[in-house]
Structure 1
Amino acid sequence: MSNSHPLRPFTAVGEIDHVHILSEHIGALLIGEEYGDVTFVVEKKRFPAHRVILAARCQYFRALLYGGMRESQPEAEIPLQDTTAEAFTMLLKYIYTGRATLTDEKEEVLLDFLSLAHKYGFPELEDSTSEYLCTILNIQNVCMTFDVASLYSLPKLTCMCCMFMDRNAQEVLSSEGFLSLSKTALLNIVLRDSFAAPEKDIFLALLNWCKHNSKENHAEIMQAVRLPLMSLTELLNVVRPSGLLSPDAILDAIKVRSESRDMDLNYRGMLIPEENIATMKYGAQVVKGELKSALLDGDTQNYDLDHGFSRHPIDDDCRSGIEIKLGQPSIINHVRILLWDRDSRSYSYFIEVSMDELDWVRVIDHSQYLCRSWQKLYFPARVCR
């Protein structure tokens, strides 16, 4: 007989693996409701089940059903709160068969299902559900997904939500889900440097959140606004009329803005890990230097004096250079450059960053070194343009 039946997993000679049959037979007990000895009640809907199967699959149910409490009595009815019938149906199917279908469910049901996997101690189910949620993130569901991921300390799902919100910050601020965020999740979002929306938009979104959540501590929420990043007009015509920030706080912000150097302000910036953001794909352009397009799309393998690299004249006062304007303020900590290495010459250089092309901060200084070929340069992360 062949062992290649499409529903039968491959097994080595001498091994029998009929796990799929076992799953089908045990799953049939759930569908047929036979031999049930415990009943769960969720949203007034009754779910007959089998103690021994639940106990074998879940330590939580083992303690609940065989721990000597009221629920361990024969034919007991156990009401379950804080979940929905749809999510509990999915959980029972998973317990009995090891299978769950996520693709046709609403996000709210999936998040309830995820909370049940966490509550009842199914880490593999928790991971698989989290991975699926990562693939369906959108403006409408990302806030509630982040709230749940933060509550249950799910690092991968939390990270994916943060990356999505960073790249769609202004749309997230105006979404309905933003108003439903818990205070902790809200602050975790807006306090991050990489949540790079205009500060006026962040303030207005927090103002709406405070109106929608009137019982929360609004002063604590408003401390997340970076007032020195707002213009004088915005401070006087937008922030001041709200009444949520004191006149002293507004005056302090004006003082910081007027007395600080620009690059010392706590700017927000886009964070795109492990990608070259100095490309036309991300809206970057060369504003100073010769052969401007070569820097962004140059051939780093086949370059010569006429193509494949950008250049600038070397003068005595070192005022010439290559200047790149990024598509948006960004957080960077790594620059990789290729110095001309088709002859024996070496070069000295430095790298500076700025937000306004006026206040420059030197992050790399190799002006006293002789360098050539590839330069892999790391420095403390800065927001720059």
Structure 2
Amino acid sequence: MAGPPQPACLWGNLASFAADMRKMINAPELSDVKFIVGKERRVVYAHRCILAYRCEAFNAMFAQQPLSCDAKDVDIPFVLSDVQPDIFLAVIEFLYTNCVMLSSKMALDVLTSAVEYGLDDLQKLCVDYISSTLTVESACEALQAAVTYRQTDMKDKCLAFIQSHTKSIVKTQGFHELSDPALLVILQSDLLTIDEPDLINFVREWAHVNSVDKIAEVWKFHALKKPSGIAIHLLRRRKGTRPRDHHKYLNLYHK
């Protein structure tokens, strides 16, 4: 004889639930915590229980200022001067609804906040959005973020985009503002679609902008006559480099 039916978890309308939760974002009614955000000192209202259970960073923040029965304590705000209000509200939106509205202008900043607050799911949403909306102007800034926050998948997608659009990307402000480690990621690629002498000139411009006097540390010219002790990838002619007579000195196997 069959036993009793097993319990089942049934889901209601998730979109409707998220819409109802969104109504609570920055709503003064029934809120028990407020933040003073950004240089604009914008007031943002929230609910401790939601933030604390959804985010360990907020839980630790509230533990330093426990909520008492005194109504005056509710009016003591947390001051967050280093984050823009719109970015902070995007984080709050995710904590309340598990979704977030992103744009190309704010996605990198939201990713930064997601890293700071330890929100792995929000990081993934930001990485997916940034990786799928790369442009010539944004690619280097995105690569810089990927290197800084150790986002391997995002780094690989940024590099693939840069490889396909090298000639345009090396002219952007983002390229000139790359850090040493981020630039090294690009220079290690053999698939850059740009002629080698042109790339050297743009790297020189980068060095001038960044006042870097150790350009040799991030740049190795590929046409070396003595391969002994040299990393293999330095002996290959890049994809975009036009053939030249001195390439005969490269290891023939790697031509």
TM range (shorter): 0.7 to 0.9
Shift of 1:130: 0.8
Query: Which protein shows a greater Rg?
Result: 1
CA contact (8 A) 1:143 1:177 kept: yes
CA-based RMSD: 3.2
TM-score by length of 1: 0.54
Q: How does 1:260-299 map to 2 (within 5 A)?
A: 266-270=235-239
Greater helix content: 2
CA contact (8 A) 1:150 1:185 kept: yes
Shift of 1:356: 6.2
Q: Name the aligned partner's letter for residue 61 of structure 1.
A: F
Tell me the equivalent position of 1:32. Answer: 27
Q: How does 1:258-337 map to 2 (within 5 A)?
A: 266-270=235-239
Change (3 A) 1:207 1:356: closer
Q: Name the aligned partner's letter for residue 30 of structure 1.
A: I
Change (3 A) 1:200 1:38: same
Q: What number of residue pairs does the alignment pair up? A: 236
**1:68 correspondence with 2:64:** yes
Q: In 1, Cα distance between the equivalents of 2:112 and 2:179?
A: 16
**1:149 correspondence with 2:149:** no
CA contact (8 A) 1:187 1:224 kept: yes
SS at structure 2 position matched to 1:96: helix
Tell me the equivalent position of 2:219. Answer: 225
Tell me the equivalent position of 2:4. Answer: none
Q: In 2, Cα distance between the equivalents of 1:227 and 1:79?
A: 50
Shift of 1:13: 9.1
Q: In 2, Cα distance between the equivalents of 1:359 and 1:60?
A: 53
Greater strand content: 1
Higher relative contact order (CA 8 A, sep 6+): 2
Change (3 A) 1:24 1:198: same
Tell me the equivalent position of 2:166. Answer: 169
**1:93 correspondence with 2:93:** yes
Q: In 1, Cα distance between the equivalents of 2:169 and 2:46?
A: 42
Question: Where does the alignment leave 5 or more consecutive residues of structure 2 unmatched?
Answer: 1-6
CA displacement 1:146-175 (0-9 Å, x = unmatched) = 111111111111110011111222222111
Q: Which residue among 44, 49, 73 is the counterpart of 1:47? A: 44
Q: In 2, Cα distance between the equivalents of 1:115 and 1:159?
A: 19
Q: In 1, Cα distance between the equivalents of 2:135 and 2:185?
A: 19
Stretch of structure 1 that moved more, 129-138 or 69-78: 69-78
Q: In 2, Cα distance between the equivalents of 1:228 and 1:24?
A: 57
SS at structure 1 position matched to 2:64: coil
Q: In 1, Cα distance between the equivalents of 2:50 and 2:144?
A: 32
Q: In 1, Cα distance between the equivalents of 2:168 and 2:49?
A: 49
Q: In 2, Cα distance between the equivalents of 1:38 and 1:184?
A: 41
Q: Report the identity percentage.
A: 22
